[in-house]
């Protein structure tokens, strides 16, 4: 929140790569992806509000293989960011922070995000 | 809004109060409260997208046009926009300073405002005018 210049830290490449560090970076990356992805939702809703012709165009683009690929990625991004947020809620109670625990939680976050995404697409897209 | 050079002494001194305690706490609480509410948003989103993806306008009006679906969804889009602006602020603060930061933050606010107004507006249009 502070808008004063912050102290800078050594950059990424000097650190040994860890899963908690990777999940932290992915939490920010998925946050930014979701930020952009919200535009996709608003375009769809806007087209639906505007008229059938606009909606047909949006449905065509979102239904194309590339559109589906982006929406699949968006699903994973939302799932991962939600689970990352829940992980922060856990940490807010000052638990699961010890060595071993935090790595387990980070791996669980990654695994659960993939499982949830595949579950959603299997149940609601591929099996329909 | 001004760039103050943060020295070692400032950081070591507990009475120097660098950073904004009130605004930072508000930012922290806001991000967590909106984040928790966003889980409800994702529930709505999943239901709405699964039910309506690829469907015609008449189907969308039929489902989203029900006030008890459309109105909460419109409000939740607004909450998402607050979370988006707050989260992007964290990112911008880390990489930008001074006037570049202020410009980026202005664009951030405008984008989130656009998402909130266009998103909630589209849903409410469907609810109240079909």
CA distance, residue A84 to nearest chain B CA (Å): 10
A32 part of contact set with chain B, CB < 8 Å: yes
Mean pLDDT over B101-124 rounds to: 97
What fold, for A18-126? Answer: 3 helical TM bundles of succinate and fumarate reductases (1.20.1300)
pLDDT digits (tens, 9 = 90+) for A15-37: 788 999 999 999 999 999 999 99
CATH 1.10.10 is the classification of domain B30-129: no
* Among the ranges given (A11-25, A37-51, B10-24, B68-82), the one the predictor scored with the smallest mean pLDDT: B10-24
**Please, are residues B115 and B63 in contact by the beta-carbon 8 Å criterion?**
no
**CA closest to B62 among chain A residues:** A48
Domain-wise residue ranges, chain B: 30-129
pLDDT band at B13 (very low <50, low <70, confident <90, very high): confident
Q: What is the mean pLDDT of chain A?
A: 93
The confidence score (pLDDT) of residue A124 equals 95
How do residues A82-123 score in pLDDT, each as one tens digit? 999 999 999 999 999 999 999 999 999 999 999 999 999 999
In chain A, which ranges are E strands? Answer: none
Domain residue spans of chain A: 18-126
> B80, exposed or middle or buried, with CB in 10 Å at 0-12, 13-18, 19+?
buried
Q: Which of residues 86-115 of A touch B (CB under 8 A)?
A: 88-89, 92
pLDDT digits (tens, 9 = 90+) for B15-70: 877 778 888 899 999 999 999 999 999 999 999 999 999 999 999 999 999 999 99
Are B122 and A35 in contact (CB < 8 Å)?
A: no
Which of B33, B36, B34, B23 shows the shortest CA–CA distance to B93? Answer: B23
């Amino acid at each position: 929140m502070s808008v004063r210049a912050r102290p800078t830290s050594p950059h990424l490449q000097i650190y040994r790569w860890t899963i908690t560090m990777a999940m932290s970076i992915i939490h920010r990356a998925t946050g930014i992806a979701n930020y952009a992805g919200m535009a996709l939702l608003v375009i769809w809703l806007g087209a639906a509000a505007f008229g059938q012709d606009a909606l047909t165009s949006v449905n065509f683009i979102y239904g194309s293989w590339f559109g589906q690929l982006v929406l699949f990625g968006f699903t994973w991004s939302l799932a991962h960011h939600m689970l990352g947020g829940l992980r922060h809620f856990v940490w807010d109670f000052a638990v699961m922070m010890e060595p071993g625990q935090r790595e387990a939680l980070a791996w669980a976050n990654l695994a659960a995000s993939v499982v949830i995404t595949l579950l959603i697409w299997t149940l609601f897209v591929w099996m329909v | 809004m001004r760039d103050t050079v943060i020295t070692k002494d400032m950081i070591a001194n507990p009475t120097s109060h660098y950073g904004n305690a009130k605004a930072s706490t508000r930012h922290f609480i806001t991000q967590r409260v909106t984040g928790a509410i966003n889980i409800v948003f994702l529930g709505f989103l999943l239901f709405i997208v699964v039910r309506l993806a690829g469907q015609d306008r008449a189907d969308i009006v039929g489902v989203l046009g029900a006030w008890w679906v459309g109105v909460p969804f419109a409000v939740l889009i607004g909450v998402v926009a607050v979370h988006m602006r707050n989260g992007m602020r964290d990112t911008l603060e880390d990489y930008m300073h001074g006037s570049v930061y202020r410009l980026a933050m202005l664009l951030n606010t405008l984008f989130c405002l656009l998402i909130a107004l266009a998103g909630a507006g589209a849903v409410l249009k469907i609810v109240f005018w079909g």
